[in-house]
Amino acid sequence: MSKESTSGGGFTLLTIAFIVLKLCKVIDWSWWWVMAPAWLPAGMGLICLVCYAIYLLITSAKRKRDFEAKIKHPDFGKSRWQLRIEEMERENLKRKI
């Protein structure tokens, strides 16, 4: 016997049970609620996807803002060696004065 895992199996069985109960007139629900176990997980997944997209938009805007601020800095694009040489030159100028 092999054990096969099916995701959403509980929702499928619940949907089938609700359909049978609706057709047998045991429950008097709207078809929207009878089919809810089928569409609710998809709706929740869609909500999670939208939240993730909003998160990505916010973080990318923050990264862009931080990068633009970094570009405006006078030392942007210089290697640490260039920065060190400039620092040493400033120290030498202070000593000469």
pLDDT digit string (tens) for the chain, length 97 residues: 455 555 557 888 999 999 999 999 999 999 999 999 999 888 999 999 999 999 999 999 888 888 887 777 777 778 888 888 988 998 888 887 6
- For 1-97, where are the alpha helices, taking DSSP H only? 9-23, 31-34, 36-72, 80-96
pTM, 2 dp? 0.52
- For 25, the token pair is 């007139």
Give the structural domain span for 77. Answer: 9-96
- Count up the domains in the chain and report the number: 1
Residue 2 lies in a domain: no
Give Dmax over CA atoms of the chain in angstroms. Answer: 100
Distance CA 38, CA 74 (A): 58
Residue 71 lies in a domain: yes
